[in-house]
Amino acid sequence: MTNNDDIITVSGLNVSYGESKVLFDVSMNVRPGQVVACVGRNGAGKTTLLKSIAGFLKPTSGAISSGTTNLIGMVAYVIAGLGIKYIPQDKKVFSDLTVRENLELGSYATKDYNWDQVTDYFPKLKQLMDHKAGYLSGGERQMLMIGRAILGSPKLLLVDEPTEGLAPSIVMHLKDVFRELSKKMALVIVEQNLPLVCAIANKVYALKEGRIMGELTDRESIRPEMCEKYL
């Protein structure tokens, strides 16, 4: 089953916060070029799954690997250095720093100073370069967070609820951006907005109470109603 060219292979993953167990025996994999969606209600363990892959949480048992590299026990910045970037849902940019400085930090981490790729996706950031990031709107913050993460051409983006609380026009824009990004890198998107993910995903995992309840892999079956069945 496990192919060495998988970007991420998760098998038998168990994660707990102290006494309370959050993920039960979760297995999934992401192939190159795939857009994988994780759907589920609040508290289903989606964020926990992403954070475990990104190295911010230590699983109690199970395996996570990227290709032939074992990711268990690696600290988060090393995993990010391997090109597996996590974009949290809190939409927190470094508000005391300017947009330019926020991007500089992304470049510093990856040694990739080609900002055109960022401004091509998000032309709006160009005018905002010298603004403090704290003054940006929610949508602009999300753009900045995606922008500073795609520097260094990562092989996988772990995106946590990117459209939560954003205006419909921005959501449409982000959808296009994710489509474009998927040509260059794999994506794992955690989302409550089922129509959106179904439009761009080619694999869907449905999580409920810390377990994977269903997996949709063919284009025909990836529809909001089908996802809804598992939730």
Partner 1 sequence: MIDMQLLISGVIFGLSMGSIFFLMTIGLSLCFGLMRIISLDQLLYYSIGAYITYSVSLALGDIWLGVLGGVIVGGLAALAVERVVFRRIYERDITFTMIISFGILIGGVGVIKYFWGLVPRPVPVPITAQIDILGTEIPVYRLIVIVIALLVYVGIWLFLNRTIIGKAIRAGIEDIEHVEGLGINVYRLFTITFVIAGGLSGLAGGLHAPLIMVDPNMGLEVLAFAFMVVIIGGLGSIKGTLISAFLVGQVISIGSLIYAPLAQMAPFAIMLLILLVKPTGLYGSPLLKR
Does residue 110 touch partner 1 according to CB under 8 A?
yes
Q: How far is the CB of 151 from partner 1 (least distance, A)?
A: 9
Count the residues in the chain: 231
- Kindly determine how many residues on this chain lie close enough to bind partner 1 according to the rule CB under 8 A: 28
Single residue of 23, 38, 71, 148 touching partner 1 by CB under 8 A: 148
The closest of 183, 184, 225 to 204, measured between CA atoms, is: 225
Binder of partner 1 out of 59, 106, 147, 210 (CB under 8 A): 106
Q: Please report how close the Cβ of residue 87 comes to partner 1 at its closest, in angstroms.
A: 8
CB neighbourhood size of 113 (10 A)? 12
Specify the 3-state DSSP secondary structure of 109: helix
CB of 98 to partner 1, least distance (A): 9
> Any contact of residue 109 with partner 1 (CB under 8 A)?
yes
Binders of partner 1 among 80-99, rule CB under 8 A? 80-81, 85-88, 92-97
Amino acid at site 229: K
Shortest Å, Cβ 174 to partner 1 = 19
Residue 132 contacts partner 1 per CB under 8 A: no
Chosen residue from 60, 108, 172, 179 binding partner 1 by CB under 8 A: 108
Stretch that binds partner 1, among 13-21, 69-77, 176-184, 194-202 (CB under 8 A): 69-77
Contacts 24+ apart (CB under 8 A), 192-198: 192/39, 192/161, 192/164, 193/163, 194/39, 194/224, 194/227, 194/228, 195/224, 196/163, 196/171, 197/37, 197/39, 197/227, 198/37, 198/222, 198/223, 198/224, 198/227
CA quadruple 189, 193, 196, 200: dihedral positive or negative?
Answer: positive
CB of 132 to partner 1, least distance (A): 12
Give yes or no for residue 135 binding partner 1 (CB under 8 A): no
- CB 85 → partner 1: shortest distance, Å? 7
Residue 149 binds partner 1 (CB under 8 A): yes
Beta partners for residue 111, in sequence order: none
Distances (CA, A) of 90 to 134, 145, 162, 180: 13, 10, 9, 23
List residues binding partner 1 (CB under 8 A). Answer: 54, 56, 75-77, 80-81, 85-88, 92-97, 101-102, 104-106, 108-110, 148-149, 152
